[in-house]
Structure 1
Amino acid sequence: MPVLVEPDPTTVATLLAAMPAGAHGVNAPDRMLAWLDQHPDEYVVVLGPSLSVDAALAACDELRIARPTVSVVLVADALDTSLLTRAMKAGARDVVQSDDVAAIGTAIRQAHQLFQALRGPGGAVQLGRVITVFSPKGGVGKTTMAVNLALALTEGGARKVCLVDLDLAFGDVAITMQLFPTHSIEQAVGSEESLDMALLDGLLTRHQDSLMVLAAPPHPDVRERVTPALVLRILRTLREGFDFVVVDTSPSFDDQVLTALDETDECVIVATLDVPTLKNVKVALETLEMLDIASGHRHLLLNRADDAVGIGADKVESILGMPVSAQVATSIDIAAATNAGTPIVVGDPRHPSSEAIRALAAALTGAPVAPPTPITGAEPAASALGDDKRSGSIFRRKKGFAS
């Protein structure tokens, strides 16, 4: 998918609306280079008008040598002969004016045609991975961990990540990130047979740190209308457009959560160091084992992990029969960051909690995760396959179990 390099969030929203569904925005050329390292099949880079001319031309020149199959489209507020000449010498494929939306779209289509011609027939789509964050008990900080994990996975914009709020009755992802979505999963209701990336793209809200969010419905009565088949279609479509799809779930094994768990590649289970939570987590792990969900791909995250409560990580591992993958200590800084709408991994990347969450992200990706650049605020933006009629009983979901 096209990648846009533009530091101004308002301009990002405007230009992404003119680009194909799934287009991705980063705020600096170095993040664009990191993105290209992660996505060797990228075909076009769009350089926005807020970049300085020298920075844009330097990026053009570097890509001309390092990645000759990637077309560069330079967007400028005003065109003149000098700019056109310098841009073409630097290797830009096209130069268009920022207010000419049609020209931007045409330049991207032509870049895609060129890429297809250079690549030849074939070329399989690489699917992203689904990471489900689950806890059988509310109040353990699951949403806070899901938000911070998703932000850590973006690698400062080098990876494309979508966070899905599947707590359909009382989802808090949007408010945790101080986003004000104009659309949510509610607008996808009834689209089980027709949902595609173009439609889904219009339901996503953009966070400033290159993270897209599919928000939960604003009212709990919508929950029953979000069918398991729709959840399945959404997740499978998002796999095609994102490197990682992080799913924040409700604290229950309802049909929608079970569908997400069936689709998951990695399951992060959040627990706190209290006996009722650990009892519920143990039962949940037994259920996941019975259903053969994410076997060998479950990761235990201890939140508010303080030895002073009398239960340590060693005892937790003994009780649950699985190793602890990450521990996040109790910290007022996490609550303060959440209340400020700037999650801890972004607001304070060097905080011990941020480092613990990035370490978990590294374990999930198999690669080191660098700290993101601190940001302030967020911007909304306009940025799904197969059918599976599932039974409502969890005991009929075990893989290979007769229907």
Structure 2
Amino acid sequence: MSDIAREEDVGAFQEETAGMRVDEIRPLPRISVQAFCESEGLFRTIERCGQDRRMAKVNLRVTHGGIQAAVSMFETAPTPNLILLEVTAQPKDVMETLAPLADVCDPTTKVVLVGHFNDIALYRELVRNGISEYLVAPVSLADVLACIATIFVDPEAEPLGRSIAFVGAKGGVGSSTIAHNCAFGISDLFETETVLADLDLAFGTASIDFDRDPPQGIAEAVHSPDRLDEVFLDRLLARCSDNLSLLAAPSLLDRTYDFKSDSFAPLVEILRRNAPVSILDVPHGWSEWHRSVLGEADEIVVTAVPDLANLRNTKNLFDALAKLRPDDRPPHLVLNQVGVPKRPEIGPDDFCEPLGVQPVALVPFDSQLFGSAANSGRMIAEMSPKSTTSETFSQLAHILTGRIEAHRPRRGGLAGIMQRLARK
């Protein structure tokens, strides 16, 4: 068989995953994985995998060494759910080299080999003998995660929804308003079942913005994780429209709220399993639970106002999230309240230069429109569906759901609004 045929056959899985974004890979279940690496490159790749948020439930151990190290370890210890093993032997010697491992490996343990030869005959023989997958080095983080997901994530299971977290770079920048209007836009434009969760239990405004006053909401979900299932969640949701449900914050300050780092984890997980899109309205702050929620979200939207304090805070947020989520795309940036009359502002280009990103939306300052919408419990698309601001939220909804790519916002409509405001 020709070399071309061999490459096409053995490398089929890696060709499939080569164009796959890491954030398209589903979170992995609670399994144990032991990796044995002979090369430093694979060792570093597996270590990076262990830091990825999709591996949060995985018990991963990485060891220098090959088959002999694996055999020595499992002679006296039970084998994990998955063994990932690097082999450097010639194709004709691989099966003989693997024989000692078969004697100590539990029947239920899956084995993935990372080899250095692209050989179709070897691949077929390995699969015939129960090896789950054979990857050809060098492998990427996406290759490893996708391979494990293919083995352990049930293909018949319902797809997980996407969680989008909105957070403000500073208090009062309008992050909640942006989140609420985006949630409404996604549910209305695409007729997609969407859940908006107001994580500001003390001072959340989602119930006011949607003119709802449900007797129960997110407090019951967070304080009763053992009761949290699909039925209980459905009881806590307040219906705002045909496709939008609200998990509202309490209306009273009848208790204090001090959360552990994982307090919201059960809630976010069940939201992702029961709604195609869940919008997390995260209050401004930086605690362990803030880090946990933002670290686990599929997408993050940072809202900022174009001034110096917001620029500093946004830069700090972007830097912290880059360390927390090294393999994910950077957060989306929304510049809000742009064009306040007579207020000195940092121009969008100057604001974004130190961040290395472009804003996905520039939301013009319009106190009358936003004030009227807030006071009447309606969204911008309901108050003024043909306005530039409504169009901006529509574009943002498309970007966050992956229906269009993010492009540099057009400045024409915004400039006209700013000029009109300046003449007032």
Same fold (TM over 0.5): yes
Q: Which amino acid aligns with 2:335?
A: L
In the alignment, the residues of structure 2 paired with residue 347 and residue 273 of structure 1 have an alpha-carbon distance, to the nearest angstrom, of 26
Structural mapping, 1:282-297, within 5 Å: 282-292=315-325, 295-297=328-330
Contact 1:151 1:211 in 2 (8 A): yes
Q: Which residue of 2 aligns with 1:352?
A: 388
Unpaired runs of at least 5, structure 2: 1-153, 406-424
How far did 1:253 drift?
1.4
Structural mapping, 1:58-73, within 5 Å: none
Change beyond 3 A, Cα 1:210–1:293: farther
Change beyond 3 A, Cα 1:156–1:292: closer
In the alignment, the residues of structure 2 paired with residue 285 and residue 352 of structure 1 have an alpha-carbon distance, to the nearest angstrom, of 28
Change beyond 3 A, Cα 1:307–1:320: farther
Change beyond 3 A, Cα 1:189–1:142: closer
Q: Which amino acid aligns with 1:262?
A: G
Q: Which amino acid aligns with 1:317?
A: C
In the alignment, the residues of structure 2 paired with residue 294 and residue 131 of structure 1 have an alpha-carbon distance, to the nearest angstrom, of 17
Structural mapping, 1:18-37, within 5 Å: none
In the alignment, the residues of structure 1 paired with residue 268 and residue 400 of structure 2 have an alpha-carbon distance, to the nearest angstrom, of 18
Q: Which amino acid aligns with 1:324?
A: P
How far did 1:159 drift?
0.2
Contact 2:295 2:321 in 1 (8 A): no
Q: Which residue of 2 aligns with 1:241?
A: 274
Structural mapping, 1:102-141, within 5 Å: 123-141=156-174
How far did 1:276 drift?
1.4
Contact 2:198 2:282 in 1 (8 A): yes
SS at match of 2:320: helix
1:342 aligns with 2:375: no
How far did 1:238 drift?
0.7
Contact 1:217 1:223 in 2 (8 A): no
Contact 2:188 2:243 in 1 (8 A): no
In the alignment, the residues of structure 2 paired with residue 198 and residue 158 of structure 1 have an alpha-carbon distance, to the nearest angstrom, of 22
Change beyond 3 A, Cα 1:201–1:324: same
Structural mapping, 1:190-209, within 5 Å: 190-209=223-242
1:266 aligns with 2:302: no
Change beyond 3 A, Cα 1:129–1:294: farther
How far did 1:286 drift?
1.6
TM-score by length of 1: 0.58
In the alignment, the residues of structure 2 paired with residue 157 and residue 317 of structure 1 have an alpha-carbon distance, to the nearest angstrom, of 30
Structural mapping, 1:3-402, within 5 Å: 123-156=156-189, 158-220=191-253, 222=255, 224=257, 226-292=259-325, 295-306=328-339, 309-331=344-366, 332-367=368-403
Change beyond 3 A, Cα 1:194–1:183: closer
Contact 2:168 2:174 in 1 (8 A): no
- Which segment drifts farther, 243-252 or 255-264? 255-264
SS at match of 2:245: strand
Q: Which residue of 2 aligns with 1:3?
A: none
Contact 1:160 1:243 in 2 (8 A): yes
Q: Which amino acid aligns with 2:322?
A: E
Q: Which amino acid aligns with 1:346?
A: E
In the alignment, the residues of structure 1 paired with residue 372 and residue 297 of structure 2 have an alpha-carbon distance, to the nearest angstrom, of 31
How far did 1:314 drift?
0.8
In the alignment, the residues of structure 1 paired with residue 295 and residue 205 of structure 2 have an alpha-carbon distance, to the nearest angstrom, of 23
How far did 1:191 drift?
2.5
Q: Which amino acid aligns with 2:379?
A: P
In the alignment, the residues of structure 2 paired with residue 322 and residue 313 of structure 1 have an alpha-carbon distance, to the nearest angstrom, of 11
In the alignment, the residues of structure 1 paired with residue 355 and residue 242 of structure 2 have an alpha-carbon distance, to the nearest angstrom, of 35
How far did 1:227 drift?
4.2
Contact 1:306 1:312 in 2 (8 A): no
SS at match of 1:229: coil
In the alignment, the residues of structure 1 paired with residue 209 and residue 242 of structure 2 have an alpha-carbon distance, to the nearest angstrom, of 14
Structure showing greater Rg: 2
In the alignment, the residues of structure 1 paired with residue 319 and residue 160 of structure 2 have an alpha-carbon distance, to the nearest angstrom, of 29
In the alignment, the residues of structure 2 paired with residue 170 and residue 254 of structure 1 have an alpha-carbon distance, to the nearest angstrom, of 17
How far did 1:346 drift?
2.4
How far did 1:307 drift?
8.4
Task: Note the alpha carbon deviations across 1:166-207, whole angstroms, 9 max, x for none.
Answer: 112211111122111110222224422341111111111110
Aligned length: 249
In the alignment, the residues of structure 1 paired with residue 326 and residue 282 of structure 2 have an alpha-carbon distance, to the nearest angstrom, of 15
Change beyond 3 A, Cα 1:168–1:190: closer
- Which segment drifts farther, 172-181 or 285-294? 285-294
How far did 1:236 drift?
0.5
- Which segment drifts farther, 302-311 or 137-146? 302-311
Unpaired runs of at least 5, structure 1: 1-120, 370-403
In the alignment, the residues of structure 2 paired with residue 258 and residue 348 of structure 1 have an alpha-carbon distance, to the nearest angstrom, of 36
Change beyond 3 A, Cα 1:145–1:214: same
SS at match of 2:172: coil
How far did 1:122 drift?
7.2
Contact 2:201 2:219 in 1 (8 A): no
In the alignment, the residues of structure 2 paired with residue 177 and residue 152 of structure 1 have an alpha-carbon distance, to the nearest angstrom, of 13
